[in-house]
Structure 1
Amino acid sequence: MNYEERDAYGMYKVHPTVGTGPDGRHGPGPHLMGADTLIGNDVVNKGGDDLGDIKELMLDMRSGRVSYAVLSFGGFMGVGEKLFAVPWQALKLDTVNKCFTLDVTRERLESAPGFDKDHWPDMADATWEKGIHDWYGTEVPRPTTLPM
């Protein structure tokens, strides 16, 4: 399923009489996207191989940024699936095909550090964070804090 199909509020719909969106534009996307519309989106690699779908978005409450997309891969109907915390900057939104791309092969993803739904890692642990970013070839974001 893609973000246009999950658009409960009509923010990505094309208005037939005034242009390309509810008010003559195409709504907020793709620069601003509703989190609920992204959960469930397919993730593919550059070769078009299905890598799973986004199950959750993990927000860093100190900075207000999306840190990770939790990707589900493998299994059948939730049984035997493996979860992966993919750094947000490793994913690219493909607005033509309405999915995300991740630059890894299926084989490499199978060997990625992952977890199951009953054993989540401590994503706030700096060592774990560095390992995940190293594996996907992304940089650990510099810490910032929101004003309280």
Structure 2
Amino acid sequence: MNYEERDPFGIYSTKVGTSAGPDESRGPGPALMGADTLMGNDVVNQNDESLGDIKEIMLDMRSGRVGYAVLSFGGFLGMGEKLFAVPWNALTLDTEHKRFVLNVDKDRLKDAPGFDKQHWPDMADQAWTSSIHSYYGTKPYTDQPQG
């Protein structure tokens, strides 16, 4: 399911009588989106391989910035799935296909630091933050100016 299908307020509705996609003249469009509409969106890699879907979006309540997307990978019907905190800046929204792209090979994601529903990491721990950003080749948002 993608953000257009999960849009309770009609923010991303298509233009009346067309399939041309969101009418960017009447809503926030892809530049500013509701977090709830992004949860459940598919994530693929640069080779168009499925990497899972977004289960949660983690907000830094001190800065108001998005820190991580929690990606679910593997398992069946929620059983045995592994969760990964992926730095938000490692994801790119593919507006054409209504999904996210994470430039990481599927085998590398399988080996990424992950967790399960009962054992979440301390995402405020700076050592954890450094290790996650190092793994995905990104810089923590706290090291980047707000823009």
Instruction: Please indicate, yes or no, whether the TM-score normalized by the shorter chain is above 0.5.
Output: yes
Hey, what does 1:72 align to over in structure 2?
A: 72
Q: Return the alpha-carbon distance in structure 2 between the equivalents of residues 7 and 49 of structure 1.
A: 25
Shift of residue 26, structure 1, vs aligned partner = 4.7
Hey, what does 1:83 align to over in structure 2?
A: 83
Shift of residue 142, structure 1, vs aligned partner = 2.4
Q: Return the alpha-carbon distance in structure 1 between the equivalents of residues 106 and 143 of structure 2.
A: 31
Q: Return the alpha-carbon distance in structure 1 between the equivalents of residues 82 and 47 of structure 2.
A: 21
Q: Return the alpha-carbon distance in structure 2 between the equivalents of residues 25 and 86 of structure 1.
A: 31
Residues 33 and 55 (structure 1), Cα distance of their counterparts in 2 relative to 1, 3 Å cut: same
TM-score norm. by structure 2 comes to: 0.91
Could you tell me which runs of 5 or more consecutive residues in structure 1 were left unpaired when the two chains were aligned.
none
Aligned residues: 141
Q: Name the aligned partner's letter for residue 52 of structure 2.
A: G
Q: Name the aligned partner's letter for residue 45 of structure 2.
A: N
Q: Return the alpha-carbon distance in structure 2 between the equivalents of residues 76 and 16 of structure 1.
A: 38
Q: Return the alpha-carbon distance in structure 1 between the equivalents of residues 14 and 52 of structure 2.
A: 28
Deviations 1:121-143 (A, max 9, x none): 00000000000000000001226
Residues 104 and 143 (structure 1), Cα distance of their counterparts in 2 relative to 1, 3 Å cut: closer
Shift of residue 14, structure 1, vs aligned partner = 2.2
Equivalent runs, 1:11-50 vs 2, <5 Å:
11-16=11-16, 21=23, 25-50=25-50
Q: Matched residues, percent identical? A: 64
Could you tell me which runs of 5 or more consecutive residues in structure 2 were left unpaired when the two chains were aligned.
none
Hey, what does 1:100 align to over in structure 2?
A: 100
TM-score norm. by structure 1 comes to: 0.90
Q: Secondary structure at the residue paired with 2:31? A: coil
Q: Residues 63 and 143 of structure 1 are in contact (CA less than 8 Å); yes or no, is this contact kept in structure 2? A: no
Q: Residues 14 and 26 of structure 1 are in contact (CA less than 8 Å); yes or no, is this contact kept in structure 2? A: no
Q: Secondary structure at the residue paired with 1:33? A: coil
Q: Return the alpha-carbon distance in structure 2 between the equivalents of residues 54 and 25 of structure 1.
A: 27
Shift of residue 11, structure 1, vs aligned partner = 0.4
Hey, what does 1:114 align to over in structure 2?
A: 114
C-alpha RMSD over aligned residues: 1.7
Hey, what does 1:129 align to over in structure 2?
A: 129
133-142 vs 123-132, which deviates more?
A: 133-142
Q: Which aligned runs of 4 or more in structure 1 are off by greater than 4 angstroms?
A: none
Deviations 1:63-95 (A, max 9, x none): 000000000000000000000000000000000
